[in-house]
Amino acid sequence: MLIEASAYASRWRDVAPSAKAWFALAGIVAAWLARSPAALGTLAALLMLAALCGARVNPRAYLQVALPPLGFLLLSCLTMLVGPDAHGHWGLTTAMLPTIEHTALRSLAMLAALLGLVLTTPLPDLLNLLRRLRTPELLLDLMVLCYRMLFVMRQAWDESITAQSARLGYRNLRQAWRSTGLLAGQMAVQVWQRAAALQMAADARAYQGTLRFLPAVHPLARRQQAWAALAGALMLAIAVGDRL
């Protein structure tokens, strides 16, 4: 929900999804081609500035969305510091530091490219773009259903927490643990019931296996795509120049 709220509040909300996708793709390809830490750091900084300054994504929301993948990246880098020495004994080693630096900066640049796309593009726009790229309809419907179920689960969770709090279910630590256990046990039932209600509503509206959304109109799409291609070419030039 934080991602979708950021996308609708973004300054690039009305920019053509194809332009943002071209820009993100160019950033990913450039990050894959670049080799030196300086070039990778420059690409990551440019992609972050594009989202924070160009699209004016809330920095706090940006950081909250980036923290889980950054934590996974940090954990992966830390595990690469552990390895066998010349005698076969395991321990901390610095032999992998160049590889860790390269991997971390490349992953950071690619993450910045993806965050710039998802934090500025609402789901309906992404679905229309994927449909134009001939993505299978079954995959698109699964994306929509999973997306909708997140809201269903959040609503069921919030309503249950409110009901338990009104009955003093969290007045002390022992009661809080008991209420949390009851809540976890009831979530599956509530989500299943609400999912069945969603299916009934879809059947009542003559659902034929394909979910359609009203496509957004982008009258400046060609100009925006040209600017995105220019910015992407700049990042690719940095990467190719670094590789050569």
Residue 88 has what pLDDT? 65
Report angle CA 196, 157, 160 to the nearest 5 degrees.
100
- Within a domain: residue 190? yes
Helices and strands in the chain: count of H runs, count of E runs: 9, 2
Residue 141 has pLDDT above 70, yes or no: yes
Q: 115 and 149: one domain? A: no
Q: In whole angstroms, what is the distance from residue 188 CA to residue 49 CA?
A: 41
Nearest to 118 by CA among 4, 1, 232: 4
- Within a domain: residue 216? no
- Within a domain: residue 215? no
In the chain, how many domains are there? Answer: 2
CB 81 within 8 A of CB 99: no
- Within a domain: residue 173? yes
Cβ neighbours, 10 Å, residue 116: 26
- Within a domain: residue 113? yes
Q: What is the DSSP code (8-state) at residue 83?
A: E
Q: In whole angstroms, what is the distance from residue 188 CA to residue 152 CA?
A: 11
Q: 95 and 173: one domain? A: no
Range of the domain at 185: 136-204
Q: Write the pLDDT tens digit of every residue in 48-95.
A: 999 999 999 999 999 999 999 999 999 988 888 876 666 666 767 777
Residue 26 has what pLDDT? 94
User: Does the reported pTM lie above 0.85?
Assistant: no
- Within a domain: residue 209? no
Of 146 and 14, the structure prediction assigns the larger pLDDT to: 14
Residue 227 has what pLDDT? 92
Q: 122 and 226: one domain? A: yes
Q: 49 and 112: one domain? A: yes
Residue 124 has pLDDT above 80, yes or no: yes
- Within a domain: residue 7? yes
Q: 121 and 146: one domain? A: no
Residue 240 has pLDDT above 80, yes or no: yes
Residue 35 has pLDDT above 70, yes or no: yes
